[in-house]
Structure 1
Amino acid sequence: MATSIEVSEKAGVCYLHFSAEWIQGAMRVRKPDALELAYTRDMMACLLLREPPWPREVLIVGLGAGSLAKFIYRQLPETRITVVEIDPQIEIIAKLHFKLPDDPQRLRIVIGDGADYMRQRGPAFDAIFVDGFDKHGRAGILDTLPFYQSCRARLTAQGLMSVNLLGRSRGFAASTQRIAEAFDGHALVFPSCDSGNTIAFGTGAEGVDVHLTEMAERARQLKTDAGIDLFPLLPRLQAAGKLFQDRLIIG
């Protein structure tokens, strides 16, 4: 059965709904390429963890309103993007209502099941973003140990997986445990943002060891170049005890 999809607009923001209560994506009409929802900005925290021009190849599982794809497309012009979306309606709506670019050379949309795609042999990615939910807010097979293991297998050595978890859901602890197991402990859960979404990261063969000053400098550069403010993440990491001697270490 096809998913019931709604588009609404309020106070200059266009919303994508899978139900009246469940917001799947958002776009500020005057800033269509900006990351309107806080959790999408948190997912881009991976840009603080690697030296530019990383990433070159990106995979996004779950298109939604296209926020991540649009931001990467506009602000990281050397990056190629593959998006896997199970519902063909979503691609049409993202192009009609959310200004998703039509550029198959840099932004390739694959209509299919994300778990099936990850199990197939294929290219490795520098960054994998997982943000797929059904109309009830369930990730289903995209939140299983085999899926996370498949993601790890498709990462380059410097690759990072970024997963959107619903931090206030009953299965949150089990989700983080599965990610940790799939990545042999080379994983980190970022402090939850106000919406209740929590972002977890897993690394490829090369872990992460980055000093707070490096992250702050990258945050400054990103704010100047891309208009994204990732500075609020830094005190959250400190307050949550995620730093050791002012270093963020994963792996």
Structure 2
Amino acid sequence: MHSEIDVSEEGGVRYLHFGSEWVQGAMRIRRPVDLELEYTREMMSGLLLRNGFTTGARWPGRILLVGLGAGSLTKFCYWKLPQARVTTVEIDPAVHAAASFHFKLPAEDERFSVVIEDGADYMLRSRPKFDLILIDGYDADARVGLLDSLPFYQACWARLKEGGVLATNLFGRSRRYAEPLERLTTAFEGRSLALPPCESGNVIALATRGGPVTLPLGELEERAAQLKSATGLDLRGTVRRIAASGLLHSGALVL
């Protein structure tokens, strides 16, 4: 639980804090659905792994988010992916109240629900399966607790449909992500990778369940252009950073 919740504003941006200097979420007031922070944009990089923007495509159909914060990822998924049913799990009802009152979180309806529960408990007890799982849960000291554990990652794997994708924010784990990435890789049978660090220091890891993913650079660039056209989210810079980082194998992203 979060002992203190603060909201501040500067330069047209509203920020959420959990009683510390750590920024737990941000919203540009004039564009409340846009993803203001770079790491939140990169949390959506899993959309590049499955071609969900061709005519008639319906992927992802079900999305699970663990950690609400200012609601940035939840709002993006709800408003920009209208085919999706969105479930967000948040441990602290006060965070839910702050996101609703200060950050324009939509009301719950047939496409959107908020579950007030510990994310690890929810993942271990629940049975629904999802196409996309986004993990971004931190306390006031940027700690994640059981959200970085092998049993939790194994439960995430079990909650994904075949072809499903997980993205998790590795920032806060002592700024060292080798160990959590190893746990994630073990749970996902070797099918994970860490994106190059954002300027903020956040590292986003992706993992998949199902058949291998091999995406040539040209196809990644095309999918990033489709995503921008469909949602306004621009991940072309992320694709360029991936290309420059050495993550490609024979000119392709392999996962």
* TM-score (structure 2 length as normaliser): 0.94
| 1:130 paired residue number | 135
Deviations 1:9-50 (A, max 9, x none): 100000000123111000000000000000011111111110
| 2:112 paired residue number | 107
Give the superposition deviation at 1:2.
5.2
Instruction: Report the CA distance shift for 1:170/1:213 in structure 2 as closer, same or farther (over 3 A).
Output: closer
| 1:26 paired residue number | 26
| 1:228 paired residue number | 233
Question: Alignment identity in percent?
Answer: 51
Structure 2: gaps of 5 or more residues: 53-57
1:170-181 alignment, distance < 5 Å: 170-181=175-186
| 2:55 paired residue number | none
Instruction: Report the CA distance shift for 1:2/1:42 in structure 2 as closer, same or farther (over 3 A).
Output: closer
Instruction: Indicate the SS of the match to 1:166.
Output: coil
Does 2:193 correspond to 1:188? Answer: yes
Structure 1: gaps of 5 or more residues: none
C-alpha distance in 1 between matches for 2:161 and 2:212: 11
| Letter aligned with residue 248 of structure 2 | L
Deviations 1:154-178 (A, max 9, x none): 0000101100011772542211111
CA contact (8 A) 1:167 1:192 kept: no
| Letter aligned with residue 40 of structure 1 | T
Instruction: Indicate the SS of the match to 2:139.
Output: coil
| 1:242 paired residue number | 247
| 2:203 paired residue number | 198
Pairing partner for 2:96 from 79, 85, 91:
91
Count of matched residue positions in the alignment of Structure 1 and Structure 2: 250
| Letter aligned with residue 94 of structure 1 | A
| Letter aligned with residue 95 of structure 1 | S
Does 2:219 correspond to 1:214? Answer: yes
Instruction: Indicate the SS of the match to 2:45.
Output: helix
Deviations 1:131-169 (A, max 9, x none): 000110000110011100100010000101100011772
C-alpha distance in 2 between matches for 1:229 and 1:2: 32
CA RMSD of aligned residues (A): 1.4
C-alpha distance in 2 between matches for 1:10 and 1:170: 27
Give the superposition deviation at 1:51.
1.2
| 1:162 paired residue number | 167
CA contact (8 A) 1:168 1:196 kept: no
Instruction: Report the CA distance shift for 1:70/1:170 in structure 2 as closer, same or farther (over 3 A).
Output: closer
Instruction: Report the CA distance shift for 1:132/1:2 in structure 2 as closer, same or farther (over 3 A).
Output: closer
CA contact (8 A) 1:158 1:207 kept: no
C-alpha distance in 2 between matches for 1:149 and 1:13: 37
Which deviates more, 225-234 or 131-140?
A: 225-234
Instruction: Report the CA distance shift for 1:124/1:172 in structure 2 as closer, same or farther (over 3 A).
Output: same
Instruction: Report the CA distance shift for 1:211/1:2 in structure 2 as closer, same or farther (over 3 A).
Output: closer
Instruction: Report the CA distance shift for 1:65/1:170 in structure 2 as closer, same or farther (over 3 A).
Output: closer
C-alpha distance in 2 between matches for 1:87 and 1:103: 17
| Letter aligned with residue 110 of structure 1 | V
C-alpha distance in 2 between matches for 1:217 and 1:27: 28
